Amino acid sequence: MKKIVNLFFLLFSLSFIVNAQVYTLPGLPFALDAYEPFIDAQTMEIHHSKHHAAYVSNLNKAISGSAMEKISMNDLLMYASFRSATVRNNAGGHYNHSLFWEILAPTTAQKPITSELQTAIINQYSSLDSLKILLNQAAATRFGSGWAWLVVTPEGKLAVYSTANQDNPIMDISKERGIPILGIDVWEHAYYLKYQNKRGDYLGAIWNLINWGVVSDKYAAALNDPLLKELEKDNWLAIKEFHKVMAQTFHPAEENNLAPLRTRSGELYAKAILLKNSTPPASANNDKVQEALSRLEKQCLDIHTLVQKPAKNEVAKDALLFEKITKAHDIFHEVEGLCHD
Ligand SMILES: [Fe+2]
């Protein structure tokens, strides 16, 4: 009997492990037919309970048992270029659709736009109608499947972007970065049953369902979201390029392998020059950062000069090389630290 009880508890515990779901499908805020006549109930049902549900289920499967179970959705998206296509597509699919359901509402349930967002739109686009035209152009010209976005950029401005498939502007694979506050799904699954190939008609109708009150809340939240600063730094491509070569030469050196540094010291110096000549993100574009970047460039030149110099004593040369790359690594982290201030 005791064995049977133990077996029962084992199976009971295992069922939790097997069924552990990091992400869950959010419910739709309104009844399926509440979006009629602009989006039909059957499209809403299939879109939500089949397509979105599949993204959630596939994402959970893809990250199951990996370190990705413990990291945030923002981190999954931000470093999408390092993830598998399955994680990238399904994390994007889950994030994008969750936002889509939030910003859609039947006319009677919509909240008005706030004066803050309205002012920002008028300042940048002269009117809400002009912005809608730009978003519709982005959506209409997206070849194949994808999304049109209104985002808050790292500079705190509004911008209209479009991405393919289930990508979005939080991802590092997107050239244009920002926090989405409004997204229009232009996959055929979003409109085909009612509109068939007439994407333009769907794009004309969707504005009847946009809840500008929710978009306004998202605008205010995005302006204060620490993710905005992360995106700004992540957009500084020259520092990412330098970091890559630094990591691939310094870390082997820490394990007494100076070969990568010897063969790539010229590349490291070239990346340091490019970094010094690049434009840092606005919040890090100051004298302290520029001064540290000058020191970094000089240190990398020192390293490259030493590598090229014939040595009487190889052991002493290696020790000096390690000292110099360690100092370059310290200066690099000093730059990163200044950017975080
Ligand atoms: Fe969709």
Q: What is the DSSP letter of 28?
A: P
The dihedral sign for the CA sequence 242, 247, 248, 251: positive
| pLDDT at residue 152, rounded to an integer | 98
> Taking Cα atoms as reference points, which of 216, 74, 230 lies closest to residue 154?
230
Please state the φ and ψ torsions of residue 146, each to the nearest 5 degrees: 165, -160
| pLDDT at residue 233, rounded to an integer | 80
| pLDDT at residue 18, rounded to an integer | 44
30 C-alpha to center of ligand 1: Å?
17
Question: Using CA atoms, how far apart are residues 266 and 283, in angstroms rounded to an integer?
Answer: 30
In tens, the pLDDT along 25-68 reads 999 999 999 999 999 999 999 999 999 999 999 999 999 998 88
17 C-alpha to center of ligand 1: Å?
30
DSSP string covering 190-230:
GTHHHHTT-HHHHHHHHGGGB-HHHHHHHHHHHHT-THHHH
| pLDDT at residue 6, rounded to an integer | 53
270 C-alpha to center of ligand 1: Å?
44
Q: Which amino acid is at 234?
A: D
24-222-145 Cα angle (round to 5): 60
Question: Which residues on neighbouring strands pair with residue 161, listed in sequence order?
Answer: 149
325 sits in which H/E element: helix 314-340
Total Cβ atoms within 10 A of residue 191: 24
Question: Using CA atoms, how far apart are residues 80 and 177, in angstroms rounded to an integer?
Answer: 13
How distant, in Å, are the alpha carbons of 115, 125, 277, 300 from that of 121?
10, 6, 34, 46
Residue ranges of the chain whose pLDDT lies below 70:
1-20, 340-341
| pLDDT at residue 82, rounded to an integer | 80
Radius of gyration of the chain (CA): 26
19 C-alpha to center of ligand 1: Å?
25
- 3-state DSSP assignment of residue 179: strand
191 C-alpha to center of ligand 1: Å?
9
| pLDDT at residue 11, rounded to an integer | 43
Question: Using CA atoms, how far apart are residues 240 and 335, in angstroms rounded to an integer?
Answer: 12
| pLDDT at residue 10, rounded to an integer | 45
| pLDDT at residue 340, rounded to an integer | 60
98 C-alpha to center of ligand 1: Å?
10
187 C-alpha to center of ligand 1: Å?
6
